[in-house]
Amino acid sequence: MFMPFRLCAVLVALIIVVPAYAAERPPAAAIASAQPQATAAGREILAAGGNAFDAAVAVAAVLGVVEPYSSGLGGGGFFLLHRAADDRDVMIDARERAPLDARADMFLDADGDPIRRLSLDGPLAAAIPGVPAGLVHLARNYGKLPLARTLAPAIRLAREGFPVSALYRRLARYRLDALGKWNAGSLFLDGNDIPALGYKIRQPDLARTLEQLARDGGEDFYRGQTAERLVEGVRGAGGIWTAADLAQYRV
C-alpha cells in the first residue's frame, strides 16, 4: 500500500466552449489544472474525440500521479458538472469517508486530549478512498470514451515517471519523517534523501492499479484482490479498515 504525502480532494477546472456557428469544427477548449502534465492529458483526450467529462477524468487521474502531496487514488474529490446539451448541472460527491469502526475518541489519549498528528499521519488517518469510484462514475455516466483511453496518460506517467520539481522537493522535505516512517520513501524519495530536480518518480504499482480500474470499473479496487491488499496493509500498520468499508463505498 502506498501512502501519499497527504490525502486531499482532487480539484479540476475544465471548461469547453463550442461555437454555435461551426458545428463541423472541433470545439475550442480551455483547460486549467495545477500541473502542466494534467492539462496536457486533458488536451490529448479532447483531441482523441473525448468530451469535457472524459478530459476531466484524464486530468484528475494525472494529478493523482504527478502531485502525490495533494491528490491521488487514496483520497476523495468533488466534481461539479454542467452539460450544455440539456442545461443540466450535477455535483458528484466522491469524497473519502471514515472507516465504519471509527470512533469519536480515536485520536484522543486517556485524558481526552488530542494526540499530536494522529489524525494526520499514519494508518488511523487514512479514510476510505472515493476518487476511483468517482472517476468510474463520471466516465460511465457522462463520458464518451472508455476508461482505458482516458486513464492512459496517467498510466503512462505512473509507469515512465515524472520529473521532480522545486515544489515537490519542498513538500517532500516537509513530510520527510512521515515518508520514512510509513514506508513511502521507496516511492517518493531517492534512497533516504530528497530527490534532485529532474529525478524521475516512477510508480509501477499505481500504473497496474489504474490499468485494473480501467478493465473492471473499480470492482477489484473495492471488492477484489486490491481491496484485500489495501485492508491488509492498513490493518498491518495499525489501522482499522475492513473489507466492508471498501465494498460499501458509494458515490
CB 196 within 8 A of CB 202: no
> pLDDT: is 12 or 90 the higher one?
90
Q: What cell does 51 get?
A: 468530451
The mean pLDDT of 39-45, rounded to a whole number, is 96
Q: 27-33 long-range contacts, Cβ below 8 Å, gap at least 24?
A: 29/55, 31/55, 31/59, 33/59, 33/63
Amino acid in position 240: I
Q: What mean pLDDT do residues 95-116 have?
A: 96
Confidence of residue 26 (pLDDT cuts 50, 70, 90): low
Q: What is the mean pLDDT of residues 218-231?
A: 97
Q: Is the pLDDT of residue 5 over 70?
A: no
| pLDDT tens for each residue of 167-216 | 999 999 999 998 988 888 899 999 889 999 999 999 999 999 999 999 99
| Distance from chain centroid for Cα 97 | 14
